[in-house]
């Protein structure tokens, strides 16, 4: 076979054969297909799409490009969760130890933030000593001892996806549903979990801006998981407003610990419990009570053990940014909108995120949110607090927040969107 024939087939609206897909993924992984050629194919897929059989074969070929993990020796059933990314989305931090406290094993392979969406590993690395990079043996040891682990995926897991993801990021083909679905599911299936819950975000702060696109992505991924023998369910969840009261690395860790201590913002608690119940049901533990595990301190105990097992100090002081600036409310009334994307971009500009994968992040940078939609405010009261080590970035962050907030008269009836919009199984 040759790359040009494969490109032409998809460029002209045709479907790729199993042989073409297997060959192009393998050849690209080994360096026999040039990045320029794979870029052309990715754009052809972006424009012309793939049917379910093509997506399934593409996913299988990416899985076959590397190793597969095996958790069958663990004494617990395994369950994992994946979020498509959002602003203030710290759910993985309390969720993994919570589900472990209820009897499942959680092998959570996570990533870093890019652009306006935060990364789980960046957040946890604000804890002194904590390590994201574990060998497979270390990962298994933590799972046996604690029940949950949050770490980076090894280089041997779906290496074809790693190469293709980097290429898509610089060629304008990230938003292709076949390529998103196969990227996420190739890593999750190769990871070896027995069940998977997908948190597919919808709204301004998500990659999927409208619910129809999110539903299509979720349905595609649930189908891929099912086809590969992984019990998979998806929740469509709202990302028009930031989750919780913080966006930023150490800020979100503090908020996560509040949730594990039995407090924290209501929306974070609600979504954490909803996802925990889905994970436990998928793992065959439908009678476990995650709300009880939050209340009795067992989830917090698992958090402390998990952090310590990965070299972190759960009692250490978290980093604090050197500079702060308060953004006051501009009017009296009810807050009716706080745009998630604008808050995410502002946090990124303050130093909480990165424009390129190799860029550093500031552990203490980010945004505190003092009022959310549905709450009454008075002009001049603190609405947001910006945190950064580099105060020259305040103006740049404030530009992102221009027009991000709407107000209505104080007697306005306001109904917030539910956190969980739909369930797809």
- pLDDT confidence tier of residue 374, bands split at 50, 70 and 90: very high
- In this prediction, residue 263 has a pLDDT band, given cuts at 50, 70 and 90, of very high
Measuring CA to CA, which residue among 369, 56, 96, 92 is closest to residue 220? Answer: 56
Question: Measured at the alpha carbon of residue 20, what is the angle toward residues 16 and 24, in degrees to the nearest 5?
Answer: 115
Question: What percent of the chain shows pLDDT beyond 70?
Answer: 100
**74-93 CB burial, b ≥16 within 10 A, e <16:** bebbbbbbbbbbbbbbbbbb
Catalytic hit among 161, 199, 238, 339: 161
Percent of the chain with pLDDT over 90: 91
81 strand-pairing partners: 197
Q: Which are the contacts of 3, defined by CB distance < 8 A and separation ≥ 6?
A: 24, 27, 33, 34, 37, 38, 41
- Active site (annotated) includes residue 228: no
Q: In this predicted structure, what is the pLDDT of residue 17? A: 97
The predicted pLDDT at position 169 comes to: 77
User: d(Cα 399, Cα 377) in Å, to the nearest integer?
Assistant: 22
Please provide the distance, in angstroms rounded to a whole number, between the alpha carbons at the two ends of the chain. 38
Question: Of 81, 116, 123, 187, which one is the catalytic site residue?
Answer: 187
pLDDT for the residue 296: 97
Burial of 99 (0-12, 13-18, 19+ CB in 10 A): buried
pLDDT at 318 over 80: yes
CATH superfamily name and code, 323-408: Pyrimidine nucleoside phosphorylase-like, C-terminal domain (3.90.1170.30)
Asked if 190 and 67 count as a contact pair (C-beta separation under 8 A), the reply is yes
Q: What is the pLDDT of residue 166?
A: 82
* Whether 273 contacts 113, CB under 8 Å: no
DSSP state of 391: G
168 a catalytic residue: yes
The residue with greater pLDDT, 172 or 388, is 388
pLDDT > 80? residue 60:
yes
DSSP designation for 307 = H
Question: Which residue in 148, 183, 195, 256 is the catalytic one?
Answer: 183
What is the average pLDDT across 114-123? 88
Q: Give the model's pLDDT for residue 354.
A: 84
> How do 106-110 and 148-152 pair as beta strands?
parallel
The pLDDT of residue 355 is: 75
Tell me if residue 187 is catalytic.
Answer: yes
Mean pLDDT computed over 258-264: 97
Say whether 247 sits in a helix, a strand or coil.
strand
Catalytic entry in 76, 81, 82, 393: 82
Distance CA 243, CA 158 (A): 30
- Structure tokens given for 75: 């004494």
- What is the mean pLDDT of the segment spanning 204-209? 93
Q: What is the pLDDT of residue 118?
A: 86
Tell me the mean pLDDT in the region 389-395: 97
Q: Please give the biggest Cα pair distance in the chain.
A: 68
Compute the distance between CA of residue 381 and CA of residue 248 in angstroms, rounded to an integer.
22
- What is the C-alpha to C-alpha distance for residues 26 and 193, in angstroms, rounded to an integer? 24
Residue pLDDT, tens place only, 66-82: 999 999 999 999 999 99
Q: Are strands 246-248 and 231-238 parallel, antiparallel or unpaired?
A: unpaired
Q: Give the H or E element holding residue 304.
A: helix 298-309
Query: Does CATH place domain 80-154+168-309 in 3.40.50.1400?
Result: no
pLDDT of residue 333: 97
Catalytic residue, candidates 168, 277, 349, 387: 168
Calculate the average pLDDT of the chain: 95
CA–centroid distance for 99 within its chain: 17
Say if domain 3-49 classifies as CATH 1.20.970.10.
yes
Q: What is the DSSP secondary structure assignment for residue 207, as one 8-state letter?
A: S
pTM of the model: 0.94
Using one digit for the tens of pLDDT, what is the confidence trace for 88-106? 999 999 999 999 999 999 9
DSSP reduced 3-state for 69:
coil
Contact 148, 105 (CB under 8 A): yes
Q: What is the pLDDT of residues 284-306, one digit of tens each?
A: 999 999 999 999 999 999 999 99
Comparing 208-217, 317-326, 350-359, the range with the smallest average pLDDT is 350-359
Query: What are the residue ranges spanned by the domains of the chain?
Result: 3-49, 80-154+168-309, 323-408
Q: What is the pLDDT of residue 172?
A: 87
């Amino acid at each position: 076979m040759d790359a040009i024939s494969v490109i032409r087939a998809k460029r002209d609206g045709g479907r790729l054969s199993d042989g073409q897909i297997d060959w192009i993924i393998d050849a690209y992984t080994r360096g026999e297909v040039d990045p320029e050629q794979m870029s052309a194919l990715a754009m052809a897929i972006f424009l012309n799409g793939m049917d379910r059989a093509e997506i399934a074969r593409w996913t299988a070929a990416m899985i076959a490009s590397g190793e597969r993990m095996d958790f069958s020796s663990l004494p617990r059933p395994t369950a994992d969760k994946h979020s498509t990314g959002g602003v203030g989305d710290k759910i993985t931090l309390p969720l993994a130890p919570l589900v472990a406290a209820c009897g499942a094993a959680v092998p959570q392979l996570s990533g870093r933030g890019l652009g306006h969406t935060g990364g789980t590993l960046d957040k946890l690395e604000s804890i002194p000593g904590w390590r994201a990079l574990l060998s497979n043996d270390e990962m298994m040891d933590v799972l046996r001892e604690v029940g949950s682990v949050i770490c980076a995926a090894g280089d041997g897991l779906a290496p074809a996806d790693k190469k293709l993801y980097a290429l898509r990021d610089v060629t304008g083909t990230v938003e292709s549903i076949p390529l998103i679905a196969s990227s996420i599911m190739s890593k999750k299936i190769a990871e070896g979990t027995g069940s998977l819950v997908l948190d597919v975000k919808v709204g301004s702060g998500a990659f999927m801006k409208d619910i129809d696109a999110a539903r299509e992505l979720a349905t595609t991924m649930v189908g891929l998981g099912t086809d590969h023998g992984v019990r998979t369910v998806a929740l469509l969840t709202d990302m028009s407003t930031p989750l919780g009261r913080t966006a930023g690395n150490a800020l979100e860790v503090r908020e996560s610990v509040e949730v594990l201590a039995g407090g924290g913002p209501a929306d974070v608690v609600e979504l954490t419990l909803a996802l925990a119940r889905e994970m436990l049901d998928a793992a065959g533990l439908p009678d476990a009570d995650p709300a009880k595990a939050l209340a009795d301190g067992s989830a917090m105990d698992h958090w402390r053990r998990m952090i310590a097992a990965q070299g972190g100090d759960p009692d250490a002081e978290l980093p604090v940014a050197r500079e702060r600036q308060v953004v006051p409310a501009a009017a009296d009334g009810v807050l009716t909108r706080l745009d998630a994307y604008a808050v995410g971009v502002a946090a990124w500009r303050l130093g909480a995120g990165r424009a390129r994968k190799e860029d550093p992040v500031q552990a203490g940078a980010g945004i505190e949110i003092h009022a959310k939609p549905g709450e009454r405010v008075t002009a001049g009261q603190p609405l947001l607090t910006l945190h950064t080590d580099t105060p020259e970035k305040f103006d740049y962050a404030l530009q992102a927040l221009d027009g991000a907030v709407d107000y209505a008269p104080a007697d306005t009836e306001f109904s917030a969107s539910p956190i969980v919009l739909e369930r797809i199984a």
